[in-house]
């Protein structure tokens, strides 16, 4: 039983590994050499086989590709449309959909395609291509195409395989080729993505093809009540972006009247804003709550030497540059060998005709004798030839027609030989300086095609949009002291509530109790918080608390100043030690605050009053004890700031406490920031 289980397990493991390897290498992950997945490579090879300069019905191309691709026509058609819409290798004719709106392409019988001039120039060379049998053995297909540009980085790639995925960002054509020139000189390069949708990209967290990027739409203020979206982020369409805006508006995160899509050849989405809402503020909210800003996590996974691996942009570009150098060297050597063979044939022909060597075979009676006779006749001229004479050379001489011999033009033949000598000399010179030759080749591509591919995406560092800052304060949070409940779903009349604050769902609320205890909570629907809350406010940067409190054990009063404290949500903290007589006597916010403390009368004292100027005290942590007001007992503390800010009196029915003055903070509205979550 165990042996049968072991065999079954081995069978499953073997089949799973075979399937995994097939999906990774033959379907989802592109090859580093030509940047193509197998289906894309087969489409291009089919177009090359069919190429006659004219357009072909896509249905015909798909059908022909099925001779090489062992899957259905729909997968081939989808891959062809995707490849054509990238705009580099395939010329289109007809409706191929719209990458901006997400509209689908027409049926394959209605649209046409052919190889682009760029593809014809850089993608194919039979002398450099290794071919293997197709899946059914009836045809030959390339292992990889001899691509002379860094196509993987140029058009990017997306794919999901078994246990891995790839997401390669597209880059700019001119920047890639210029970077190759820099690499040939030994210089370091840095490249960033470029998207056909345009928009803006923040690459501060981009890690050489991996890491993270943030893409934003480009928006304009047509007027203070109208926003125009002119370019959209990568991975989005106008429809998906509009859906996200409508969803945010429905959730109350932004307020709009209407949104209209006028996109044709250029993106144009118009957003009309509601009354009391202005474009300047809404643009930030659009980045925070909609697909006007999207995060993307690139993952540069590829197949190299038959093995999947994660690489970097610079490694891929260096590999492609070295491959370009090697391919151009091989091409020159192949051309050199062909020229040398051609020169050898022309010299043999010249000697054979001008020296009338054909007369030496007039008396020969057999083919072997003829071959031997020509071979012997050529012996005196061996030094003039570039290599030894073989039988194939003699057979080629014997195939020359009498008509051609009689019309032989010595001057024309000499010019052709000189031209071949010149071409050989040029190739040998180029082979001596392959870096210079490769640079010249790249320059020729830039000159011919560079103008067609300007950078579309603006590289820009974005300032972080705080969701709490841009969120609408669309919730009214109520506090009913009598019942002890706090929340935005409390139904009370104005006469029944002790407190109300407008905030958003992203705000954090600081609850400060008269006993010196405080905690920070999220905006609740309805929450029991107790009856003795002294102050409730949004967590905001820069708020300064000015406090006078009684320390119960000593029965003395202290002054302390502190900034908005750090916190963990729902955790209770204390501003001073807990005691039944400890309590906050005065709470003010901000700068230039003052107070007066009335002391217990004493016959020896010159004055029974202490003036307190809070700005004279240092801002310390919320747990600091503070500075003692007086060694005598304090009877009462009142705010003397004057008309600058009136204190709000709150009567608490707590034993041993006098009236406590509470002054609302003056921090900027809506700038709450969570310190610690």
Euclidean distance between CA atoms 638 and 281, whole angstroms: 40
Q: Are 201 and 457 in contact (CB under 8 A)?
A: yes
Domain contains 25: no
Q: Are residues 282 and 397 in the same domain?
A: no
Domain contains 509: yes
- pLDDT reading at 327 higher than 70: yes
Indicate the DSSP class of residue 26: I
Q: Are residues 631 and 504 in the same domain?
A: yes
| Kind and range of the H or E run holding 443 | helix 434-449
Q: What is the pLDDT of residue 651?
A: 33
Please give the positions annotated as active site: 110
Q: Could you tell me the pLDDT band of residue 658, with boundaries at 50, 70 and 90?
A: very low
CATH number of the domain that residue 359 is part of: 1.10.268.10
Q: Could you tell me the pLDDT band of residue 9, with boundaries at 50, 70 and 90?
A: confident
Q: What is the pLDDT of residue 31?
A: 92
- Average pLDDT rounded to a whole number, residues 452-481: 80
Domain total in the chain: 4
Q: Are residues 573 and 472 in the same domain?
A: yes
Euclidean distance between CA atoms 507 and 540, whole angstroms: 9
pLDDT digits (tens, 9 = 90+) for 274-315: 888 888 888 988 998 899 999 999 999 999 988 889 999 999
SS3 at position 230: strand
- pLDDT reading at 69 higher than 80: yes
CA-wise closest residue to 505 among 253, 286, 249: 253
**Mean pLDDT score across all residues of the chain:** 85
Burial class (CB in 10 A: 0-12, 13-18, 19+), 265: exposed
Which residues does 521 contact at the CB level (< 8 Å), separation at least 6? 508, 509, 511, 527, 529, 569, 570
Q: Are residues 630 and 502 in the same domain?
A: yes
Euclidean distance between CA atoms 302 and 152, whole angstroms: 9
> Of 95, 114, 147, which residue is a domain's last?
147
- Average pLDDT rounded to a whole number, residues 393-401: 77
Q: Are residues 272 and 326 in the same domain?
A: no
Q: Are residues 442 and 336 in the same domain?
A: yes
State both tokens at 171.
């880059």
Q: What is the pLDDT of residue 496?
A: 55
Euclidean distance between CA atoms 38 and 43, whole angstroms: 9
Q: Could you tell me the pLDDT band of residue 142, with boundaries at 50, 70 and 90?
A: very high
State both tokens at 649.
């009196």
pTM: 0.76
Lowest mean pLDDT among 71-80, 210-219, 478-487, 565-574: 478-487
Per DSSP, what are the bridge partners of residue 218? 231
- pLDDT reading at 557 higher than 50: yes
More confident residue, 392 or 48: 48
Q: Could you tell me the pLDDT band of residue 570, with boundaries at 50, 70 and 90?
A: confident
> Of 147, 174, 199, which residue is a domain's last?
147
Domain membership of residue 92 as a residue range: 31-147
- pLDDT reading at 224 higher than 50: yes
- Average pLDDT rounded to a whole number, residues 113-125: 95
Q: Could you tell me the pLDDT band of residue 674, with boundaries at 50, 70 and 90?
A: very low
> Of 416, 448, 480, which residue is a domain's last?
448
């Amino acid at each position: 039983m165990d042996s049968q289980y072991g065999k079954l397990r081995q069978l499953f493991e073997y089949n799973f590994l075979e399937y995994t390897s097939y999906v990774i290498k033959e379907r989802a992950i592109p090859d580093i050499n030509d940047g193509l997945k197998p289906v894309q490579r087969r489409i291009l090879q089919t177009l090359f086989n069919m190429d006659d300069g004219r357009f072909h019905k896509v249905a015909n191309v798909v059908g022909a590709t099925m001779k090489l691709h062992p899957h259905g026509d729909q997968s081939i058609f989808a891959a062809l449309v995707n490849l054509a819409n990238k705009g580099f290798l395939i010329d289109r004719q007809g409706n191929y959909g719209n990458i901006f709106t997400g509209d689908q392409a027409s049926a394959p019988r209605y649209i046409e395609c052919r190889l682009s001039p760029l593809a014809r120039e850089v993608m194919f060379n039979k002398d450099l291509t290794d071919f293997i049998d197709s899946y059914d053995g009836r045809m030959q297909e390339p292992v990889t195409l001899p691509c002379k540009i860094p196509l993987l980085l140029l058009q990017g790639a997306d794919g999901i395989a078994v246990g891995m995925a790839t997401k390669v960002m597209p880059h700019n054509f001119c920047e890639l080729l210029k970077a190759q020139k820099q690499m040939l000189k030994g210089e370091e390069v840095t490249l960033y993505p470029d998207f056909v949708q345009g928009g803006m990209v923040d690459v501060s967290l981009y890690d050489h093809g991996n890491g993270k990027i943030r893409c934003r739409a480009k928006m304009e203020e047509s007027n203070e009540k109208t926003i125009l979206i002119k370019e959209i982020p990568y991975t989005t369409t106008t429809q998906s972006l509009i859906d996200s805006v409508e969803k945010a508006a429905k959730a109350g995160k932004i307020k709009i009247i209407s949104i209209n899509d006028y996109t044709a050849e250029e993106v144009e989405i118009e957003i009309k804003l509601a009354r009391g809402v202005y474009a300047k503020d809404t643009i930030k909210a659009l980045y925070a709550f909609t697909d006007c800003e999207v995060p993307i996590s690139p993952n540069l996974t590829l197949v190299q030497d038959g093995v999947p691996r994660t690489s970097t942009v610079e490694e891929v570009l260096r590999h492609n540059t070295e491959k370009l150098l090697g391919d151009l060297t091989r091409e020159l050597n192949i051309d050199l060998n062909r020229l040398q063979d051609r020169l050898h044939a022309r010299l043999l022909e010249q000697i054979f005709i001008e020296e009338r060597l054909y007369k030496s075979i007039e008396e020969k009676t057999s083919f072997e004798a003829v071959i031997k006779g020509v071979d012997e006749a050529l012996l005196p001229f061996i030094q003039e030839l570039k290599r030894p004479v073989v039988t194939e050379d003699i057979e080629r001489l014997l195939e020359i027609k009498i008509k051609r011999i009689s019309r032989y033009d010595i001057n024309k033949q000499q010019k052709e030989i000189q031209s071949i000598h010149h071409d050989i000399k040029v190739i040998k010179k180029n082979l001596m300086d392959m870096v210079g030759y490769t640079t010249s080749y790249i320059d020729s591509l830039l000159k011919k095609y560079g103008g067609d591919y300007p950078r579309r995406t603006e590289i820009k560092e974005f300032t972080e949009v705080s969701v709490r800052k841009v969120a609408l304060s669309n919730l009214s949070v109520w506090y009913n002291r009598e019942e002890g409940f706090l929340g935005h779903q409390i139904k009370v009349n104005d006469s029944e509530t002790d407190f109300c604050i407008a905030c958003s769902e992203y705000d954090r609320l600081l609850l400060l109790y008269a006993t010196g205890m405080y905690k920070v909570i999220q905006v609740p629907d309805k929450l029991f918080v107790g009856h003795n809350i002294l102050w409730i406010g949004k967590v905001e940067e820069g708020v300064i608390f000015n406090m006078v409190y009684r320390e119960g054990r000593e029965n003395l009063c202290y002054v302390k100043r502190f900034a908005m404290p750090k916190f963990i949500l729902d955790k209770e903290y204390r501003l001073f030690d807990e005691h039944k007589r400890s309590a906050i006597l005065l709470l003010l916010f901000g700068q230039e605050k003052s107070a007066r403390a009335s002391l217990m009368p004493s016959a020896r004292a010159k004055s029974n009053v202490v003036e307190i100027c809070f700005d004279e005290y240092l801002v310390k942590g919320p747990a600091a004890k503070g500075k003692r007001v007086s060694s005598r007992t304090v009877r009462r503390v009142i705010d003397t700031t004057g008309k600058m800010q009136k204190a709000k009196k709150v009567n608490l029915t707590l034993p041993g406490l006098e009236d406590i003055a509470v002054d609302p903070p003056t921090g900027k509205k809506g700038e709450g920031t969570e310190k610690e979550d």
